[in-house]
Homo-oligomer: A and B are copies of this chain.
Amino acid sequence: MQRTNFSDMTCSIARTLDVVGEPWSPLIIRDVWVGITRFDDIQRDLGISRKVLTERLQWLVAHGVLRRRQYSDRPPRYEYELTDKGDEFCDVLMAITAWGDRWTAGEAGPPVLVRHRGCGEYVHAEVRCSHCGERLRATDVDHEAGPGALDQPEPK
């Protein structure tokens, strides 16, 4: 874990990054999401050291993002699956994918296409207002202190 304790910050972004703020965790969650759920398969797919994968998986399980599911009794064998908490983190992954497709894919184009089962099209994630449904851009919103804020008047 990072040395700075981001979970102590009064900021949802920082607290989230405390759980998934290094690169491997989002990639592991992504792998589990697309069906790569076993230790060796994840390790092979990501090229991550077994030690770090073990630690990340334990961390993500401890933080309720993943859970282990036994898929074999003899011998006892486990795979990982997303919890609801992990499921909803995929919103973030989709937003990251959309940004990455736009700014890091270069000439080759996106490595992965996202097809929406509902409409059948290749789509990307759009961030929209939960109330009126309009596109939410950086300049469309104001930040105000919420109930969980400290007594600081400044937005964080």
Chain A contacts to B: CB under 8 angstroms: 2, 4, 6-7, 10-19, 21-23, 26-27, 30, 33-34, 45, 47-48, 64, 82, 85, 87-106, 108-119, 121-134, 136-150, 155-156
* Min CB–CB distance A14 → chain B (angstroms): 6
- Say which residue of B26, B94, B122, B137 sits within 8 Å of A136 (CB atoms): B94
Q: A22-B22, A110-B146, A127-B125 are in contact. Are A116 and B93 (CB under 8 A)?
A: no
19 A-B pairs with CB atoms under 8 Å apart are A12-B111, A13-B26, A14-B23, A15-B100, A16-B100, A21-B23, A34-B143, A34-B156, A92-B95, A112-B149, A112-B155, A114-B141, A115-B143, A115-B144, A117-B140, A119-B134, A123-B129, A123-B141, A128-B128
- Contact B12–A23 (Cβ < 8 Å): no
CA distance A74 to B142 in the complex (A): 32
B112 A11 Cβ-Cβ under 8 A: yes
